[in-house]
Amino acid sequence: MVNLLFIGDVVGDAGVECVAQALPALRAEYDIHFVVCNGENSHEGRGINEVICRRLHKAGVDVITGGDHSFDKHLIFPYMAKTNTLLRPMNYPKGTPGFGYGIFKLWDDIQICVLNLRGNTFFNNPIICPFFMADRVLQDVGHYAQVFFVDFHAEASAEKQALAWYLDGRVSALCGTHTHVQTADERILPMGTGYLTDVGFTGAHHSVIGMDTQTAINRFRLQTPQRYRLGEGEYRLHAAIFQMDETTGQTVAIQRLSLPIALDYTAQPVERETY
């Protein structure tokens, strides 16, 4: 059995610190073989940089996935273009830097493919159809991996469910990210694909999906740009463990985690505005 830990969107320094602090013990406690972590918000809430990638890998993360914020810090582009342990959604147009999937060795003869896709619904920049792209990747490289994990970064729960049903029996598990709110609907579809609509985020729980509460209130109530500030307090790591059978490629069990992390941390204001 392959125990894969998937950590939801890491928000800011505090989120990275939560992973650094909790992951070594989690790996041991749950006998984790492979760790995937969504890092699209790890650099001050938007984007990622190379230093953060190294910190996450040092903590025990094998593969970092992304989403709509993968490209917010352009200095990461050269690193992204040469490193398949930092993925961005596969279905961005040709010419976008980086890799959308990676195949990694678990054990002798057992490989895992991690695929990152982004949804189209409720995003204002439609990209290549994720259904089409999933088909293409499965057709091209599906046979190289015994275990296949998808991070589907999407807003609409219906789009996430639909893609999971479309891929049922063809991927081991599909887990949603992007909403930053963990859903309680983990299930194994009839052909063996494990599914969770959203794994939640990692960072300040005392926040609005990671953002400082007053900033978020002002943003919605006043409808004007606000100085960007991350939340602070009651830090939490949200994740899910997918237990997958490498002989069948199917998920056999899913366990959600919502772990309070004792963190001594003060958020720093960021010199830019929300939009």
* In the complex, minimum distance from the CB of residue 10 to Fe ion, in angstroms, rounded to a whole number: 9
Candidates 37-45, 75-83, 154-162, 229-237; binding stretch for Fe ion (CB under 5 A): 37-45
Candidates 9-17, 139-147, 220-228, 237-245; binding stretch for Fe ion (CB under 5 A): 9-17
Applying CB under 5 A, does 9 fall inside the site for Fe ion? yes
69 is catalytic: yes
Build a one-symbol-per-residue string for 167-186: x at contacts with Fe ion by CB under 5 A, - elsewhere.
-----------x--------
Dist. CA 110–CA 78, nearest whole Å: 30
Query: Which residues on adjacent β-strands are paired with residue 250?
Result: 245
Q: Which residue is nearest to Fe ion (CB)?
A: 9
Instruction: Tell which phi-psi region holds residue 104, choosing left (phi > 0), alpha (psi between -120 and 50) or beta.
Output: beta
Q: Which of 4, 15, 26, 41 binds Fe ion (CB under 5 A)?
A: 41
Q: Copy the structure tokens of residue 273.
A: 């505005």
Q: Copy the structure tokens of residue 28.
A: 């041991």
68 versus 159: smaller Cβ distance to Fe ion: 68
Q: Point out the catalytic residue in the list 33, 43, 57, 69.
A: 69
CB burial class (10 A; 0-12, 13-18, 19+) of residue 73? middle
* Residues in CB range of 94: below 8 A, 6 or more apart: none
12 versus 60: smaller Cβ distance to Fe ion: 12
Measure Cα distances from 243 to 11, 117, 190, 239 in Å.
26, 21, 16, 13
41 versus 207: smaller Cβ distance to Fe ion: 41
Applying CB under 5 A, does 231 fall inside the site for Fe ion? no
47 versus 67: smaller Cβ distance to Fe ion: 67
* In the complex, minimum distance from the CB of residue 244 to Fe ion, in angstroms, rounded to a whole number: 24
C-alpha Rg value of the chain to the nearest Å: 17
- HSE (CB half, 13 Å, CA atoms) of 222? 12
In degrees rounded to 5, what are phi and psi of residue 239? -160, 175
* In the complex, minimum distance from the CB of residue 209 to Fe ion, in angstroms, rounded to a whole number: 8
* In the complex, minimum distance from the CB of residue 106 to Fe ion, in angstroms, rounded to a whole number: 27
* Residues in CB range of 197: below 8 A, 6 or more apart: 157, 160, 161, 176, 183, 185
Dist. CA 134–CA 162, nearest whole Å: 13
119 versus 249: smaller Cβ distance to Fe ion: 119
192 versus 203: smaller Cβ distance to Fe ion: 203
DSSP-derived pairing of the beta strands 101-107 and 110-118: antiparallel
Site for Fe ion in 57-76 (CB under 5 A): 67-68
Candidates 1-9, 27-35, 56-64, 160-168; binding stretch for Fe ion (CB under 5 A): 1-9
* In the complex, minimum distance from the CB of residue 13 to Fe ion, in angstroms, rounded to a whole number: 15
Size of the site for Fe ion (CB under 5 A): 5
Which residues are tagged catalytic? 69
Q: Which residues bind Fe ion (CB under 5 A)?
A: 9, 41, 67-68, 178
